[in-house]
Every structure is written in structure tokens, then in C-alpha cells.
Chain A
């Protein structure tokens, strides 16, 4: 297997740009990645997108985006793995380059959620759950997280406020971030007095509807010196239904993909300098931190509340605001996480820079953990 390098990155500001369509968003990120790499040759295009088929009624996204970047005729396909689409598409790109099948692979993610009303978006978001078993009951993605939240506080004695701190930490890191959707500070009081979204999860604990696109250009490390190598890229799945899992508070897909990635990259959690996790809601972020191995099961909420994930502390997490504050344009989110990790490893994060960041990790997760992808990147 060949070593894979990240040659270039590109992304749009996360927000609700009603005047722009998915092609424009995708092209902006993808062309920026090629420009950043100073390389325009592409052999394969992977388009990460979760809900375009529902929200825009758009299929055939591979061909459409090849056209959008001025490369009609290119081998291209859409990758869908729910909210983990971005991370899973990245994994496909890495495999294509590592195997020697392709030299230059463009992996771009795009999502435009603001085109439709909240009801349609909420329905699409729960689309990764089994339609005949879970989704038909009317439960939402946040509703499923709420079940885990209740179970977590009961089993481990954590308080809702400790869990709520995850949102505060994410917002702290988004201040001054030009591409973030919500670049303001958020107090724990504001989190805990915001309206109930799915009891006991409050509105300010949830990522909002967002539009955006992010892309990376991958190439063989033997042909391009970029300073950033893919140390590991893994994907794992779990039973989609919480009811089928042995222990609902353990996200097996996260554990499995993370452990595989640690083994491939030959690193341990303590070697990771910068981390991006999936905080679609606060409890998702807490459980992810635990199952990635950064803190013992049941102690994640306290760990976050005490500040151990802040910029200068033990494990700097969600360093540009995470899903909550940078924003969560679902199919593109996994690629935003990877792009942000590259910015850190390049030492170009400005006020958000983590000193001496050499190893970075990004975790992209679908729903309450039915799919999880891990990327470990290394500055070389």
C-alpha cells in the first residue's frame, strides 16, 4: 500500500446561503482544494452527500459535481453514509490512492439543508435509522440522543449541566473563526435555560441546520510533498437500532474504528494533539470522547465540564467550534473536520493554533453511532 498525502484543502463558510445552490457550494470548495494543492489533475471524484436526494430531489450527484468543477467525463460517484458521509468518502479516496488504482482523488462533501422547512430536514436526519422499525414511530435523531442522555445521567450520576458544557467548549473555540456558522461564545446558563428540544436535551445543545461544502485533494506521498500524511483511515458500523445493542451507552462503531486506526497509525490516544469529534448533540460528543479512548466510560461529561478539552489542556477538541458552532452541513461535516485538522497540522490556525500539533484525529459519526469513520493525520 502506498502512503497517501493530503495535497490541498478547500471549504466554504458554513451558513444559510439561500442564493447559492449545491453545485456552486461544491465547486467553491473543490476548486479551492485544487488551487491550494497547485494541482488540477484529478483521476477520481467522490462526492459526500447525505440528504440531497430528499431535500433537492437530486440524484446522480457524481456526474453533476464533475460538471460543476469543469471536469465532465471524470469517473465520479456519490458516497452516502448518513451524517458520516464525509468521513466515509474520505476513506474511499484514501483506499483508491493507497491501492495504486488512482493517483489524484478529489473528495468533496456538500449539503444544503436550508432549502426546505425544518419538518423535512428532521425527517431526512432520522433517515439513517431503520425506516420500518425506528423512523416510523416519529422519533427524531435528537430524540434518540435524548434516550442516551437520560440513560447516561442515571447510570453514571452525571448532571445535565456537565453534559451541557460540551456546547460551551465548542462555542469557545469558534470565536473569531471566519468559516464558522456561530462564532460567538455561549454561557452554560444560556445552554441550560434554552428551550427543550427533546427532553432532556436543550436547543443550545444541538447543532443547527446548515449549508456548506468542504474538499480535499489526495495524492500519493511518493509523488507530492505536502507535509500532511494520512496515518490511518477506518470505518466501522454498528446495529442501527439502540435497542439491538448490548450496551446502548457504548458506541461500538466508534470504539472499533478508533482502535483499528490507532493500530494502523501506531499511535495511542495520548499521542493525539488535536481532535475533532461529532457533537451533533452534547451527549454524542461526550460518548464519542469516551469511546475514542480519551476518558474512561462514564467520566466524559465531568472531563469536559472541568475543561480538559479546552485549547491549552489535555486533548484540545473541536478546535474551530465543532458541529455545534462551526456548523453541521451533515454530508460535508466529516470533510470539514479533516480540513480543520490539516489547518492545525500545517500550523496555520492563527489564534486557534494548538502548539506543536503533529498528530490529528477526526471522528465522523452517523446518527447515534450506526457508522463511524476515523481519520488520523500526521504532520511530516
Chain B
């Protein structure tokens, strides 16, 4: 979950998919992307 402080995350909260950087390869510096979730702002 991204774009929110950890303590504000609540069970049952509505979230949506978002395309984000997941990690970076330490040797070659390749960036790996994937999905994360962010809260839906009304």
C-alpha cells in the first residue's frame, strides 16, 4: 500500500491498483516495476 502513512491503513479500506517501482537490481541498477495499491480519494 502506498501514498498513506502505515498507521492510517485500515481493514476494509477501498484501494486501487497503481503501477509503481518495486525494487532496483543492486548490481546493474535495473528498475523493476509492478503493482501496488493506493487509497481511493473521493
Q: Which residues of A contact B (CB under 8 A)?
A: 136-138, 154
Contacts and interface: CB of A to CB of B under 8 A. Distances in A.
Instruction: State the main secondary structure of chain A at its contact with B.
Output: helix
B22 interface: yes
A136 B11 contact: no
B22 to A, nearest CB: 7
B11 to A, nearest CB: 7
B11 A137 contact: no
Nearest to B36: A137
Contacts of A136: 22, 32, 34
Contacts of B32: 136
Contacts of B22: 136-137
A136 B20 CA distance: 13
Contacts of A138: 23
A137 B20 CA distance: 12
B8 to A, nearest CB: 16
A138 B32 CA distance: 13
A138 B36 CA distance: 12
Nearest to B32: A136
Nearest to A199: B6
A154 B34 contact: no
Nearest to A150: B11
Interface in B1-30: 11, 22-23
7 contacts: A136-B22, A136-B32, A136-B34, A137-B22, A137-B34, A138-B23, A154-B11
A10 to B, nearest CB: 43
Contacts of B34: 136-137
Nearest to B34: A136
Nearest to A138: B23
Contacts of B23: 138
Contacts of A154: 11
Contacts of B11: 154
B23 to A, nearest CB: 8
Q: Which are the 7 A-B pairs with shortest beta-carbon distances?
A: A136-B34, A136-B22, A154-B11, A137-B22, A138-B23, A137-B34, A136-B32
A154 B12 CA distance: 12
A137 B21 CA distance: 11
Nearest to B35: A137
A38 B26 CA distance: 54
A218 B23 CA distance: 48
A254 B22 CA distance: 33
A209 to B, nearest CB: 24
Nearest to B6: A199
Nearest to A151: B11
B13 to A, nearest CB: 14
A136 B36 CA distance: 12
B39 to A, nearest CB: 18
A154 to B, nearest CB: 7
A267 B1 CA distance: 46
A136 to B, nearest CB: 7
A208 B12 CA distance: 33
A154 B11 CA distance: 10
Contacts of A137: 22, 34
